[in-house]
Chain A
Amino acid sequence: AQRVTQPEKLLSVFKGAPVELKCNYSYSGSPELFWYVQYSRQRLQLLLRHISRESIKGFTADLNKGETSFHLKKPFAQEEDSAMYYCALRSDVDSSYKLIFGSGTRLLVRP
């Protein structure tokens, strides 16, 4: 079964501390993985996708197929990073575009 697991509901860190938001997936094919972010009172928006291998707002995520993980990392957290983060897997059955989301992790960066 296709599944995305985010084990932490809440992650609280101090400003300047490193952050790692965990994401594990189960998928039989070649996965396409994303991180989405939702800031307070804003829409859900794409943060980054594994294929692009970009660093967005200082965040990076590496796909580890052996561990079936796609953890989101940032070396120095900022208060403005406080938000809800969702890991998502694209299921491309018949070329449709279906995202399977994890339950989300709330990141709270304290001053």
Chain B
Amino acid sequence: KAGVTQTPRYLIKTRGQQVTLSCSPISGHRSVSWYQQTPGQGLQFLFEYFSETQRNKGNFPGRFSGRQFSNSRSEMNVSTLELGDSALYLCATRKAGGYNEQFFGPGTRLTVL
């Protein structure tokens, strides 16, 4: 079966712009989580969505937001980009209920100039 897909894979933006990243989960996966990966801070949890509702949010400013659609696809948005937002953004999806393995996408590499 197809894995988690993320688009675009690479993105270059300038400070002050906004960006939208997309994540398509594995079929049947209703939980979508987003992580930011940087050399300095490592992998940090951004938020989790389940059934179109945000279930948890990490310690990030309000410029970071997300949403989930009825088909479980998710988008995250970063407004007023800063240089420090340059990172690899990973999406991870899993089935609902109990323990189910979380599968990661390849990531979107965002560079802010």
Contact = CB atoms under 8 A, between A and B. Distances in A.
**A and B associate:** yes
Nearest to A100: B45
| Interface range on chain B (Cβ under 8 Å from partner) | 20 to 34
B45 A98 contact: yes
A101 B42 contact: yes
A43 B105 contact: yes
A15 to B, nearest CB: 28
20 contacts: A43-B3, A43-B104, A43-B105, A43-B106, A44-B104, A45-B104, A49-B99, A86-B43, A96-B55, A96-B56, A97-B31, A97-B94, A98-B33, A98-B48, A98-B56, A99-B45, A99-B102, A101-B35, A101-B43, A102-B42
* Majority DSSP secondary structure for residues of A touching B: mixed
A96 B47 CA distance: 10
Interface of B: 3-4, 31, 33, 35, 42-45, 48, 50, 55-56, 58, 90, 92, 94, 99, 101-107
* Majority DSSP secondary structure for residues of B touching A: strand
Contact of B99 (A51, A98, A100, A104): A51
A94 interface: yes
A63 B44 CA distance: 23
Interface of A: 43-46, 49, 51, 86, 93-104
A64 to B, nearest CB: 21
B28 to A, nearest CB: 16
A101 B44 CA distance: 7
B106 A97 contact: no
Given A43-B3, A44-B90, A97 B102 contact: yes
Contact of A94 (B4, B43, B55, B103): B55
B33 A97 contact: yes
